[in-house]
Amino acid sequence: MTFRERLRARQLLLGTFIKTPVTHPVEIMGAAGFDFVVIDQEHAPFDRVDVDNLILAGRAAAIAVLVRVPGSEARDILPGLDCGAQGVLVPHVSSRAKARDVVAEARYQGGRRGFTNSSRAGRYGAAGFQEHVAAGDAQTAVLAMIEDVEALDALCDIVTVPGLDAVFIGRGDLSIALGVDSPAAPAVIAAAEKIAAAARQAEVALCAHVDRIDSPDVAWLRSLGVTAFIVASDQGLMRRAALQTLTAFRALCAS
């Protein structure tokens, strides 16, 4: 099954953000058995060549690679897809119009994705015209980040856009937007529950970020219907492992 098929089938999927512009974290996550990684172009220093190399690393390590793109325009969405990304995670999708535009930029048929089959996605020309168009539309996952107050008032309109595969519960940005000091605030919990209810009704998959997989948030998010979990990031996982190692070393030295 493709990543998109697994996402739409609500399989439990484990991923992490990639914030370091080198191939090794992608290879490590693939070898470890993670289902997917998300290259974070919104908040980390990636250029188009970096993205291209990391997607190639994902193919070598047999792990799905998505891109959290920096915006919702064609110039944001198309490059990663041409490089062979299995999907895009698009920030600040706050209206039906924006959701429709995002889907259109990621799809050929019924959309306006710019055509080329000369890239990695088209196997450098080996995929014929119709073959590439059909494969691109069938395999590209489109995930919208719900992280604005305006989006909460337009949820039913957003989640029912044809071609939208999943929504991401953006608790961090929602906390800022709602003027609270923690994603655990009641207002954010209520917003997350509202997003989840709309997604369930529209039969759209749910994705969320957690800092750790043993967090109490995980059971709560699972109860809401979240099936795709992005856990920390490559840097966050490395920092946690480093601190655990340091703590163990200090205990050893003190014994």
Q: Is the pLDDT of residue 193 over 90?
A: yes
Question: Sorting pLDDT into bands at 50, 70 and 90, what band is 219?
Answer: very high
Mean pLDDT of 193-214: 97
Pairing, β 141-146 against β 87-90: parallel
Residues above pLDDT 90, as percent of the chain: 100
Q: Is the pLDDT of residue 159 over 90?
A: yes
The backbone region for 198, taken as left when phi is positive above 0, alpha when psi lies in -120 to 50, beta otherwise, is: alpha
From 43, 92, 132, 209, active-site residue: 43
Mean pLDDT of 76-99: 98
Whole-angstrom Cα distance, residue 119 to residue 81?
9
Mean pLDDT of 43-65: 97
Average per-residue pLDDT in the chain? 97
Q: Is 2 helix (H, G, I), strand (E, B) or coil?
A: coil
Q: Is the pLDDT of residue 31 over 90?
A: yes
Residues above pLDDT 70, as percent of the chain: 100
For residue 13, the 8-state DSSP code is E
Is 43 one of the annotated active-site residues of the chain? yes
Output b/e per residue, 153-189; b: 16+ Cβ within 10 A: ebbeebbebebbbbbbbbbebbbebbeeeebebeebe
Q: Is the pLDDT of residue 5 over 90?
A: yes
Can you give the residue ranges of every domain in the chain? 3-254
How much is the pLDDT for 85? 98
The backbone region for 179, taken as left when phi is positive above 0, alpha when psi lies in -120 to 50, beta otherwise, is: left
In tens, the pLDDT along 96-143 reads: 999 999 999 999 999 999 999 999 999 999 999 999 999 999 999 999
Q: How far is CA 158 from CA 26, 145, 177, 185, in A?
A: 31, 11, 18, 24
Q: Is the pLDDT of residue 203 over 90?
A: yes
How much is the pLDDT for 208? 98
Q: Is the pLDDT of residue 255 over 90?
A: no
How much is the pLDDT for 160? 98
For residue 45, the 8-state DSSP code is -
Question: Sorting pLDDT into bands at 50, 70 and 90, what band is 1?
Answer: very high
Fold entry, domain 3-254: TIM Barrel (3.20.20)
In tens, the pLDDT along 145-157 reads: 999 999 999 999 9
